[in-house]
Structure formats: C-alpha cells, structure tokens
Structure 1
Amino acid sequence: MPSPGGKVPEGRMRGKGKIMEKKDLKQEVTDKYSLRGRVFHRIREDILNGKYEDHEELKEVAIGEELGVSRTPVREALRQLELEGLVQIIPNKGAYVVGISASDVRDIYMIRSRLEGLCARWACENITKEQLEELEEIVYLADFHEKKGHFDQLAELDNRFHTILYESCNSKMLEHLLKDYHQYVWLIRQKTLTGSRGKDSNNEHRSIMEAIRDKDPDRAEEIANRHMHSAYDNMVKNGLLEMFN
C-alpha cells in the first residue's frame, strides 16, 4: 500500500529491483546458452552434412561472420564438438574436422538398433492417437513417393517417421539420444533409400507401426531392431561406407 504522499516505500523498491535483477540475469544466462546451442548445432549439422572436408580447418572468424555471432560462442561450440569427437583442437594451430569413420557408422547403427527397439517397445504404451495417425500417413505417402521414384521426398518422410517414433516413446532422454545418432548418418541415409531399399525400408516402417498399433511390445522391439541391421547391411552391400574412410 502506498505511503502517505503516494510514494512507494524504499524497501519495496529495493525488493522489486532485486526481483528484476534476478529476471534479467536469468534471461541473460538463457540467451547465452541458447546462442551457444544454436551455433553448436549449426556447425555440427554442417560437418555431418559434408559441408567441410575431413581435416579441414574450422576458422572461428569466418564461421562467426557467416552466422552473425562473435568468436566466443563459436569457440565454445568447437570445444563441445571436440568432446563429441567431430573436431580436433590443436593448440596454437586451430580446430580441424575429424568427421566419422566407417567403424563409427557401424557402431552408431548397432547402438541405434538397441535404442530404436527400446523406443518402439515404449511407444506401444505411450504413443498418442495423433502420433499413430501421423505414422500411418507417413507410411502411406512414402509408398506413393517410392513408386514415383521421388527419393528426396522419401528421405524426408523417413526422417519424419523416426522423429515421430522417438517422440512417441515419452522419454526425453531416449528421444535425445536417438535424434543425435539419427543426425550423425543423415548424409549417408539419403543415399541408401534409392532402388529397392526405399521400398524395403518403408515396409519395415509399416511393420513397426502395425506392431505399435497392436500394442505388441515384443514384436515392435524386434522389428525396429532388425530395421537398423537391415539399413546397415544395405550400406555395406552397396559400398556406401567407403565415403567414411
């Protein structure tokens, strides 16, 4: 309540100032980590999409100018990418792209096979009606585009199917892990959906979707696990791992 004369008591002004100060600090911290996160994901995506060659130097100034940021968030992002094994920082020289090897791809698919199986199992319990309907629609559209030879659209639908599947398990931790591994091999996956693999992959998606719809966790897990093994075997068969050597 205002004091006589209409002035707000000094104590309350100080209290309000402290609250505002805390809010400003919180916003500043949020903005900082949000910026670093955006820079990190952009550089990471560029590495995985083949924008940079293996052993190519990642210049902080050039990347900062391209992204419209200072060198600080770029430097922080490069350090984080070094922890992921995608970048090597050599003192007094710079940061260089390491990329991923054929052995890394094999490991990623074997790990994904287990995680996707678990994801499909949990989705049987947690998937929403809307998510299930979207999986059904994706399978239908993918069948159409595969017959037409629209491989770009097929790759986009493949990506969307897995995104919805990951979200439907209702586990933020598992969803985060799977999306990370999924992104690692995005470039090569776009090349694997040509020919008969596109049809086979969508048939496997249909089987996963049907098992989830039937609420059969054992079947869903087995099919999702096998789906990853089939994708990897197809890469080996077509010599696509050579691009990672």
Structure 2
Amino acid sequence: MAKFEYDDNENLVNSLRGKVFNQLRSQILTGIYKPGDSLIELRLSEELGVSRTPIREAIRQLELEGLVHAIPNKGAVVKGVTEQDVEDIFTIRMRIEGLASRWAAEKITEEEIKELKEALEFEEFYTIKNDVEQLMKFDSKFHDIIFRASKSNPLMHMLSTFHHYIQSARNNSFHIPGRPDKVFDEHKAIFEAIRKKDADTAEQLTVAHIRNARNSYNEKHHKS
C-alpha cells in the first residue's frame, strides 16, 4: 500500500493518528485484541497501510489511557479493561449520567425531542424483531442525544468515552433474555420525563437504568 508523508502535513498526521488510535482502541475494547496480546508496530503498519509514525503515536495514547503497557525493546502489550474498571465505570455513570438527563430535561430543544422519539421508535421496532446489532446502535444513539441535549461539552465527552470503554459489557447485556424489553421500557420512561421537562424524575430514572444495567451485567458475568 502507498505510504504517506507525515512531516509536511500536520493535518494528515493528526487525522491518521486519530483514525489509527480509534481503530485500535475499538479492537481492544471489543475483545479483538485481548489482554496479553502484543501490538507490533511493523505488523500493524502493514495491516493498516500507514507508516509506523501514527502507529507509534496511537500506541502511546493507548498507554496513557491504560489500555496497553509498553515494554522496552518488546513493544506494547494489551491490558484491556478489567472487571474493576467496568464496575467503576458503572458507578461513575450512575453519578453523572443522571446529571446529563437532568440537564437535558432542562435544556432540550424541540428538534432534539423529535430525534430522541425517533431513536426510541427504532429501538422499539428492533426490540420486537430481536435484532441485537441494530438495538445496540439505537441504544447508543438514544444516550448520545441525551448527552448532546445536556449542552455540556465536558459531560458529553466524558460519557461518550465511558460508553466506549464498556462497549463489550453493554453489547453482552442485550443477549440476556428479557433485558432488551426492559431497556426499552426504561428508555421510554426516561424520554417521557425529559419531554415533560421533569428534571428530578429524569435523573432518578436514569440512575435506576444504569443500576439495572450494572446488575444485569454482574448477574450474567457471575453465571458465566
């Protein structure tokens, strides 16, 4: 594959570095790369069709986020997300995602209410069809719209990152019998509270929703 010149084009460097980082992070978080796997710069360079520069920079960023551990003269080894990480993220989400719903109820626009309603309708459709792949897509969209409606960039960025980090746990929850129906019911109740500008109820329902997601994950994990 053709290589790119990086030193002469800072935008190209940043763009490639971001794409490589996002791809590698996604592959780690979804389990394609498992804890203990090595990330070899040369092999990744050949697989992704880029030079080793953005690979090296992406791996450095992954190390800063605690997803890999760089070993001198040996490269980077995947650490992944631990069970304690998942538990911590669920706990943090209960504290701040409720706040996102509260602010969304206070600040949401009519256009965003329409978007949220549409995402919920698609979620209902794919729940009935039991299409897990589409359900995950619209589950994420539902939450993303609420984050955006909160009108808080720091909160939106933080929660989007957390959702990435427990993507595997979230995906697995949709395979638990009966959980997709409960998720839809919980989302519907949250939507109604936000639509009615009932900030207290929106926050309480969201905290309960995250708690239920955590309990479902723990129950499934302990059984397996």
Q: Same fold per TM (> 0.5)?
A: yes
**Equivalent position of 1:111 in the other structure:** 92
Q: Is 1:236 matched with 2:218?
A: yes
Give the whole-Å Cα distance in 1 for the aligned partners of 2:100 and 2:39. Answer: 35
Q: Is 1:199 matched with 2:181?
A: yes
The one-letter code sitting in structure 1 at the alignment partner of 2:205 is I
**Equivalent position of 2:15 in the other structure:** 34
Q: SS at the partner of 2:9?
A: helix
Give the whole-Å Cα distance in 1 for the aligned partners of 2:213 and 2:222. Answer: 11
Q: SS at the partner of 1:76?
A: helix
The one-letter code sitting in structure 1 at the alignment partner of 2:188 is R
The one-letter code sitting in structure 2 at the alignment partner of 1:66 is E
Q: How far 1:240 sits from its partner (Å)?
A: 6.4
Q: Is 1:224 matched with 2:217?
A: no
Give the whole-Å Cα distance in 2 for the aligned partners of 1:45 and 1:230. Answer: 25
Change (3 A) 1:125 1:98: same
TM-score by length of 1: 0.83
**Equivalent position of 1:70 in the other structure:** 51
Q: SS at the partner of 1:85?
A: coil
Structure 2: tracts of 5 or more residues without a match: 1-7
The one-letter code sitting in structure 1 at the alignment partner of 2:153 is K
Greater C-alpha Rg: 1
Give the whole-Å Cα distance in 2 for the aligned partners of 1:63 and 1:55. Answer: 16
The one-letter code sitting in structure 2 at the alignment partner of 1:127 is I
Asked whether the equivalents of residues 235 and 241 of structure 1 are also in contact (C-alpha less than 8 Å), the reply is: no
Q: How far 1:230 sits from its partner (Å)?
A: 0.5
Q: How far 1:140 sits from its partner (Å)?
A: 2.0
Give the whole-Å Cα distance in 1 for the aligned partners of 2:196 and 2:126. Answer: 26
Q: How far 1:111 sits from its partner (Å)?
A: 0.7
**Equivalent position of 2:5 in the other structure:** none
Asked whether the equivalents of residues 102 and 241 of structure 1 are also in contact (C-alpha less than 8 Å), the reply is: no
**Equivalent position of 2:107 in the other structure:** 126
Change (3 A) 1:67 1:161: same
Q: Is 1:162 matched with 2:143?
A: yes
Q: Is 1:46 matched with 2:27?
A: yes
Query: Pick from 51, 57, 61: which aligns with 1:80?
Result: 61
Give the whole-Å Cα distance in 1 for the aligned partners of 2:69 and 2:23. Answer: 17
Give the whole-Å Cα distance in 1 for the aligned partners of 2:12 and 2:199. Answer: 41
**Equivalent position of 1:60 in the other structure:** 41
Give the whole-Å Cα distance in 2 for the aligned partners of 1:82 and 1:241. Answer: 32
Give the whole-Å Cα distance in 2 for the aligned partners of 1:150 and 1:67. Answer: 31
Give the whole-Å Cα distance in 2 for the aligned partners of 1:164 and 1:240. Answer: 32
Change (3 A) 1:183 1:204: same
Q: Which moved more, 1:158-167 or 1:81-90?
A: 158-167
Q: How many residues align?
A: 216
The one-letter code sitting in structure 2 at the alignment partner of 1:203 is D
Q: How far 1:143 sits from its partner (Å)?
A: 1.9
Query: Pick from 204, 209, 213: which aligns with 2:195?
Result: 213
Query: Pick from 74, 99, 110: which aligns with 1:93?
Result: 74
Give the whole-Å Cα distance in 2 for the aligned partners of 1:241 and 1:229. Answer: 18
% identical equivalent positions = 43
